[in-house]
Structure 1
Amino acid sequence: MKKKWWQKAVVYQVYPRSFQDSNGDGIGDLAGVLQRLPYIKKLGVDVIWLNPVYKSPDKDNGYDISDYRDIQPKFGDMKIFDKLLSEAHRLGLKVVMDLVVNHTSDQHEWFKESRKSIDNPYRDFYIWRDGQDGQAPNNWGSYFGGSTWKYDEATKQYYLHLFAEGQPDLNWENPEVREQVWELMRFWLDKGIDGFRMDVINFISKPEGLPDAPNPENAEYGDVEPMVADGAKLNDYLREMNDKVLSKYDVMSVGEMPSSKPEDAVQYTGLDAGELNMVFQFDHVTLAFNDDPRLGKWNDKPVNLVDLKRALSRWQLALDGKGWNSLYWNNHDRARAVSRFGNDSPEYRERSAKMLATTLHMMQGTPYIYQGEELGMTNAHFTDLKQYQDIESLESYHQIVEKEKLTDHATMMRYLATESRDNARTPMQWDDSVNAGFTAGTPWLELNKNYREINAAKELQDEDSVFYFYKKLIDLRHKSDLIVYGDYRELDPEDEEVFAYKRHYEGKTLLVISNFTAKDVTRSYDSETKKTLLLSNYDDDLGTKFRPYESKVYVY
């Protein structure tokens, strides 16, 4: 394997809106990120991934971009961005930007032109279709509820939007669209950024003829994901992107790819494929879907450990020596890891947060830490619908409770408290002062009420904190080729309580054992082998006994 810098790197994801406000308007900004760079550097990571900071009307918190070459005024301007980039580089930190090119905002100049007339030069930048008997062109359902089609009175046609109405999908069949994307990528790479995280990039190749989606439950709309994920021309588009842009720079690229399978990812991330470096797969974060497929992600079921191990091991085994994994528990679109996969009670929160970190960071791939994860931040557990701002959460509530009446208010509120994206977006908890040190104003989204107990200032004073545990994990990865490059072998995949696996590299073995329960368990793996304890989230080693959420790493 030809070794690349991004294989040994650890990435820290910053959601700027919720990271640090510098001017008291309640919204995090680039000056706030700049202010907190020493904190990120102290953690020991190598790369900062910035969620979108481009100009946007904010229909979907910046994922609806109206100008790819300008900064959202709420976040600052290009001058402060350039200063942030320069200072990050001075500290030895790389910066990766979000690339959102499946769709734009309906306020983008391309779309404003496109909707003027059916013969406008920009008409073919987007996907326009005639309706059928006064109805939408097909039965596709939007990720945010309702149809994926919006009727435009001016030209008497519908445009496609997989997400919000204000996010029309680009037509990648048009070579001019692709060339415009290459140009905007070069704009940022020439500024000196160090790569891209690509939003739903495996949706850009739509099926020929746009046929109806499967709809086995007879719901109002069909399931669009099987229709748009990993389309027939995706490899062609990604190879063209690599050939025209990415291969010209020493940067990292990661594609967000819902529904992609390991065999697909081998094509996208293959060491000689000439496409992307790695993908974000969704298998392990979409395990606890509702038994009623019409409800999809909305549920409050605990994640089954056997299923979780199967999902993660499947990717570890499939990509070993062929491609490269990204490793993550949560992000701006996912509930907090310790609440979803661990135990966020005061008794076990820290222990289970460390256990989850160990389990993931000892695998093969590039780890991603979402802001606050290194503190063991938890779900917000909001109790009032008015506390939510996420468009997906609010539209889903409207569709599921009010329109289709698939469940009641109380049940849906439990589901939101478990799965809403706002759980990840509550402001960063810096200290125990008013608004957790995030803002001097009124925060754009309500803070998690536990910020006085869980905050960065408190953890930086405690050598046994979750923060310093993450720092140890990062230091170990930087020093160990075994952790970075070793192969992977799962142990006891049907064990419902313990996640154990081995890594092998150049004659050395790593043994990772994690108890995912709140009780004592006994397990033995190579008990006769003389091994050294490399890391644990307890102060002592009781051998084959594993206490609640205990995680141990041995090397021999």
Structure 2
Amino acid sequence: MRRNARPDATAAWWQDAVFYQVYVRSFADSDGDGVGDLEGIRAKLGYLELLGVDALWLTPFFRSPMADHGYDVADPRDVDPLFGDLAAFDRLVEDAHGHGIKVTIDLVPNHTSDQHAWFQAALAAGAGSPERARYYFRDGRGSEPPNNWTSVFGGPAWTRVPDGQWYLHLFAPQQPDLNWESSDVRVDLVETLRFWLDRGVDGFRIDVAHGMAKPEGLPDMDPAAVAVMAGEQNPEVVDPRFDNEAVHDVHRLIRRVLDEYPGRMAVGEIWVDSDERFARYVRPDELHLGFNFKLARADFDADAVRRAIERSLLAAGSAPPTWTLSNHDVVRHVTRYGDGAEGVRRARAMALVELALPGAVYLYNGEELGLPNVELPDWARQDPVYHRSGGAEEGRDGCRVPVPWEGVEPPFGFTTGSSTWLPMPAEWGPLTVEAQLEDPGSMLSLYRQAVEIRGSHPAFDGTELEWYGAPPGCFAFRRKGGGLICALNTTAAPVPLPPGEVLLSSAPLEGTLLPPDASVWLV
């Protein structure tokens, strides 16, 4: 048993867990249609157990028209036939638990699909109706929308309906925002939470956890405001679309339900730059964990990475910090760090840095294979970001290409069909699970070793870090309590190793020197 795989169901298993994000469409396809599904995931549980992860995070598999690949939910308490059915979900949960792996799922409380029964009823009911009160329907300013808010996906955040009113959507027009002042909305969320908790899920990832609440009167936004998730925000600019105080009432509601189910947890997607504002989401009566993405946004530079770590620890406060390098919304870190051999070296180094840190770690499917982002042809792009921006923004499809499992040509065992929902690069043969599994020098072998050591070695005890002096372009920290030392070299020259016995390194060591673009664990 892993050191941190605690048998007590009431223990905070998530505090130092290694989660594995499954982008359901792209993990494994069981029925040959080129789209990943729940049975595909179930068939790969042996691989996930071999990798050593503690828990899964499944992206939305609920009924949806797929305008935003499942984040436009038409029925939050059913499985879309594209991915299977409720029986398939129940089998997946039961088998995952049999492999010692927890299952957490996405929760999308900021908006629904425009095909949701509620929204269809709102369109039919007309202005001023209780049905419209579940969303943000407003009269316009003459022929203009009710305010100047823009969508994160590009264009205005309002769409006009035939009777002249407008409805709010901070994302795609097919994703109308829910009004959390409506008691119907709150009651329905509780029903959804209990539905999945009663089916055995171990927790939730809360989509757009800094959204939901809107300011009274929906005042105009500063035109300089940029949603933090879409780019760097000027700290002097207040964005009324996000991080409003009443959002914490929603998280307290979620927490009250979870507290009735021992051993269950919630992690929030929190795009908030301010450390003080972020800390409010992980107070004892709100979220258990929160993504702050600082590590995922740091350049491959020792000073930048150290600042990201220190700020993340500060923002988490008394809650465990949460670390991730990639997910389905950001460019894969092999590519961010330079692509090619350089990007792979740096990604290997950062994998050891991330897994050395106290707290929870989220891996994104395929990162353990060293997958890069893919430059897709325009005809293949499906992300609404690409289409809403008229092609000005590439969108997120490049990090969502299906996982390669075996063989030497597409579809690399992902599907028994001839094509995949996004095309796979012909040159991915050396990156398959099959090609890497028995290669001790592969990215997959590095991840397997690192996760195993992290979960079994006492040097990883303790929740605080102590920083050492290090040459420019490098850093070294020690885990207080356990004693693990992690050193990173982001320079172009070898540097002396800190004293200690080597546990694992991201690249072959040069005697007592740590090579460029490399990291090492010592005790």
Deviations 1:305-328 (A, max 9, x none): 5334312321124435x1121110
Residue 387 of structure 2 is matched in structure 1 by 394
Residue of structure 1 in register with 2:320 after alignment:
324
Question: Is 1:427 aligned to 2:396, yes or no?
Answer: no
Change (3 A) 1:466 1:98: same
Structure 1, residues 389-412: CA drift from partner, whole Å, max 9, x if none?
A: 2111332344x4xxxxxxxxxxx6
Matches within 5 A, 1:434-449: 434-439=410-415, 440-449=417-426
Superposed displacement of residue 50, structure 1 = 0.5
Residues 137 and 166 in structure 2, CA contact (< 8 A), matched pair in contact too: yes
2:293 aligned partner: 282
Distance 1:459 1:493 in 2: 34
CA distance in 2, matches of 1:494, 1:310: 16
CA distance in 2, matches of 1:524, 1:36: 39
Aligned 1:2-13 pairs, distance under 5 A? 4-13=12-21
Instruction: Output aligned runs, 1:448-463, within 5 Å.
Output: 448-463=425-440
Query: How many Å apart are 1:262 and its aligned residue?
Result: 2.6
1:233 maps to 2:246? yes
Q: Which residue identity does 1:546 align to in structure 2?
A: L
Contact 2:222/2:238 (<8 A) preserved: no
Q: Distance in 1 between matches of 2:145 and 2:413?
A: 48
Counterpart-to-counterpart distance in 2, 1:182 and 1:73: 24
Give a deviation string over 1:343-381, Cα, whole Å, max 9, x none: 431x34543332110011111210111111011111113
Count the aligned residue pairs. Answer: 503
Structure 2: runs of 5 or more not aligned: 1-9
User: Which sits farther off after the overlay, 367-376 or 384-393?
Assistant: 384-393
The equivalent of 1:142 in structure 2 is 151
Return the alpha-carbon distance in structure 1 between the equivalents of residues 458 and 112 of structure 2. Answer: 41
Instruction: For residue 494 of structure 1, report the CA deviation from its aligned partner.
Output: 9.9
CA distance in 2, matches of 1:130, 1:14: 41
1:534 matched to 2:503? The reply is yes
User: Structure 1: any 5+ residue segments left out of the alignment?
Assistant: 288-301, 401-411
Q: Is the 8 A contact 1:229 1:260 kept in 2?
A: no
Q: 2:7 maps to what in 1? A: none
Q: Is contact 1:54–1:62 with CA below 8 Å preserved after alignment?
A: yes
Identity of aligned residues (%): 36
Distance 2:459 2:121 in 1: 54
54-63 vs 15-24, which deviates more? 15-24
Q: Deviations over 1:502-555 (max 9, x none)?
A: 3211xx4322111234x2232565xxxx52222212344532x32132211122
Contact 1:101-1:170 at 8 Å conserved across structures: yes
Kept after mapping to 1: 8 A contact 2:461/2:479? no
Q: Is the 8 A contact 1:151 1:158 kept in 2?
A: yes
CA contact (8 A) 1:138 1:211 kept: yes
Q: Partner residue of 1:291?
A: none
Structure 1 residue 473 and structure 2 residue 450: aligned?
Answer: yes
Q: After TM superposition, give the deviation of residue 246 of structure 1 in Å.
A: 4.0
Out of 238, 257, 279, the position equivalent to 1:266 is 279
Q: Which runs of 4+ in 1 moved over 6 A?
A: 222-225
Letter of the aligned partner of 1:49 in structure 2?
W
C-alpha contact 1:365 1:484 (8 A) present in aligned 2: no
What SS does the corresponding residue of 1:40 show, helix, strand or coil?
A: helix
Provide the rounded CA distance (Å) in 1 between the counterparts of 2:300 and 2:510. Answer: 28
Rounded to whole Å, the distance in 2 between the matches of 1:142 and 1:494 is 45
Q: 2:165 aligns with which of 157, 160, 163?
A: 157
User: CA 1:542–1:99 in structure 2 vs 1: closer, same or farther (change >3 Å)?
Assistant: same
Which residue, 190, 196, 208 being the options, matches 1:188? 196
1:371 is the counterpart of 2:365? yes
| RMSD (Å), alpha carbons | 2.4
- Alpha carbons of structure 1 residues 233 and 266: separation in structure 2 relative to 1, 3 Å: same
Which residue in 2 is equivalent to 1:335?
331
Q: Which amino acid aligns with 1:248?
A: Y
Once the two structures are superposed, what CA deviation does each residue of 1:419-446 show, in whole Å capped at 9, x if it has no partner? x411210010112243111122311101
After superposition, where does 1:73-112 map in structure 2 within 5 Å? 73-112=81-120
Corresponding residue number in structure 2 for 1:16: 24
Tell me whether 482-491 or 101-110 shows the greater mean CA deviation: 482-491
Correspondence for 1:310 among 302, 307, 311: 307
Tell me how far 1:260 sits from its aligned partner: 4.8
CA contact (8 A) 1:11 1:47 kept: yes
Check 1:71–1:513 CA distance in 2 against 1; reply closer, same or farther (3 A cut).
same
Q: 1:3 to 1:21 in 2, by over 3 A?
A: closer
For the Cα contact (< 8 Å) 2:213–2:244, is it kept in 1?
yes
**1:498 positional shift:** 2.5
- Amino acid paired to 1:62: G
**8 Å Cα contact 1:13/1:369 also seen in 2:** yes
Distance 1:550 1:64 in 2: 41
Judged with a 3 Å threshold, the aligned counterparts in structure 2 of structure 1 residues 203 and 433 are, in CA distance, closer, same or farther, namely same
Match of 1:453, SS state, is: helix
Contact 2:296 2:324 in 1 (8 A): no
**Are the equivalent residues in 2 in contact too, given 1:53–1:62 (CA < 8 A)?**
yes
Separation in 2, partners of 1:195, 1:174: 25
TM (norm. structure 1) is 0.85
Does residue 520 of structure 1 match 2:493?
Answer: yes
| Letter of the structure 1 residue corresponding to residue 494 of structure 2 | V
Contact 1:380 1:449 (C-alpha < 8 Å) held by counterparts: no
Task: Report the Cα distance in structure 2 between the residues aligned to 1:304 and 1:148, rounded to whole angstroms.
Answer: 37
Instruction: Give the 3 Å change call, closer, same or farther, for CA 317–89 of structure 1 in structure 2.
Output: same
Counterpart in 2 of 1:503?
479
The alignment partner of 2:484 has SS state of strand
233-242 or 304-313: bigger deviation: 304-313
Check whether the contact 1:17–1:29 (CA below 8 A) recurs between aligned residues: yes
Tell me the TM-score normalised to structure 2 length. 0.90
Tell me the distance in 1 between the aligned counterparts of 2:281 and 2:471: 30
For residues 1-25 of structure 1, the C-alpha deviation after alignment (integer angstroms, 9 at most, x for no partner) is x962111321111111111111111
Amino acid at match of 2:291: F
Whether the aligned pair in 2 keeps the contact of 1:113 and 1:120 (CA below 8 Å) is no
Deviation of residue 142 (structure 1)? 0.4
Pairwise CA distance, 1:449: 3.4
Opposite residue 228 of structure 1, the aligned amino acid is R
**Alpha-carbon separation, structure 1, partners of 2:166 and 2:351:** 46
Give the drift of 1:195: 0.4
